[in-house]
Amino acid sequence: MLVNSSQVSYFTLAAYCDLGLVKYVIFVFVLCLYVSIIVSNLLLIVVICMNRSLHEPMYLFLCSLFMNELWGSTGLFPLLLLHILADVHNVSSAFCFLQNFCLYSYGGAEYLILAVMSYDRYLAICRPLQYHTQMTINRIFTLIGVTWFCPLLLCLVMTSLSNSLTLCGNIIKKVYCDNYSIVKLSCEDTTSNNIYGLFVTCCSIFCPLVLIFFSYVKILKICFSGCKQSRQKALNTCSPHLASLINFSCGACFEIMQSRFDMKNLSNMMRIFLSLYWLTCQPLLNPLLYGLNLSKIRNLCKSLVSA
């Protein structure tokens, strides 16, 4: 029977399997992971907001990055924890589209924030004398606003397009709702969805990556032409950003490959791991990368914890 997606009352997440008593061990592990993400990201947000010495462009962009990690994690973990324990893995249509919107906007914002951070490092390293005149408080909050508003708007349109499709089923072979899985359930022509999906990918991934690439070409050129001390300082500042970018890009690549290509040799557990990597490792890794590598944050965290 052909039905409009707005008439589908629920979707079934079919990637879950019966794990018996092991599900309780997995539940505790995932719960600890979620609590660690919440605590670490919240701690760094509080440290940055409460200390005026950290009210600099780089740290304000970091604060936005940590808030985005909380946004993406909250879109995934509560439902994931519920379904690990549940015997029936259904999710309401409204919540499925809400999760779809949340996770895709998280991914888009992540790349844009990383692009803005690379631009900030480019100005600080390549144009230090003009840095404070160019990176004004108004420009900082404009850039932060753009990194949040654009993905939210793009994903709202994408979710609306998917919601208007006529569907032939309601089974999603994943542990969370995603747009590509919903579009694959359609019985009608999805050309407009595919074209818009390509446009969103371009705006959310390729454009930020181009900006990051050119920023780091300029940064590396300055680094290798300067003295050893300035080179070391620049590399120490940029290394957490590069590690974060590579980690997130690998996770996004894993997700795209296992979603769009027929990878029958992979076990169900490996498919689940690949689809969750970009949503779980990045929110956990970023606080460690920046908290341990940036001395100002590290020292203030130590003083806050020991107080």
More confident residue, 51 or 34: 34
Fold classification of 3-306 (topology level): Rhopdopsin 7-helix transmembrane proteins (1.20.1070)
Going by pLDDT thresholds of 50, 70 and 90, the confidence category of residue 263 is low
Calculate mean pLDDT across residues 106-126: 92
Alpha-carbon span 76 to 103, nearest angstrom: 7
What pLDDT digit, counting tens, does each position of 38-82 carry? 998 998 898 888 888 788 898 899 999 999 999 999 999 999 999
Contact assessment for residue 280 and residue 107, using Cβ atoms and an 8 Å cutoff: no
Domains of the chain by residue range = 3-306
Q: How far is CA 190 from CA 7, 28, 66, 184, 187, in A?
A: 18, 40, 35, 9, 9
Residue 122 in tokens = 């480019």
CB atoms within 10 A of CB 163: 18
* Nearest partner of 278 among 171, 147, 176, judged by Cα: 176
Going by pLDDT thresholds of 50, 70 and 90, the confidence category of residue 305 is low
Alpha-carbon span 222 to 301, nearest angstrom: 32
Amino acid at 154: L
Residue 148: is its pLDDT beyond 60? yes
Calculate mean pLDDT across residues 83-97: 88
Going by pLDDT thresholds of 50, 70 and 90, the confidence category of residue 300 is low
Least confident of 91-95, 135-139, 186-190, 262-266: 262-266
What pLDDT digit, counting tens, does each position of 8-18 carry? 788 999 888 77
Calculate mean pLDDT across residues 209-237: 78
pLDDT value, residue 77 = 94
**Average pLDDT in the chain:** 85
Cβ burial of 122 (10 Å; 0-12, 13-18, 19+) is buried
pLDDT value, residue 189 = 82
Going by pLDDT thresholds of 50, 70 and 90, the confidence category of residue 128 is confident
Residue 197: is its pLDDT beyond 90? no
Rg, Å, the chain Cα set? 21
Calculate mean pLDDT across residues 134-151: 92
Residue linked to tokens 């590579």 = 246
Phi-psi region of 149 (alpha: psi -120 to 50; beta: other; left: phi over 0): alpha
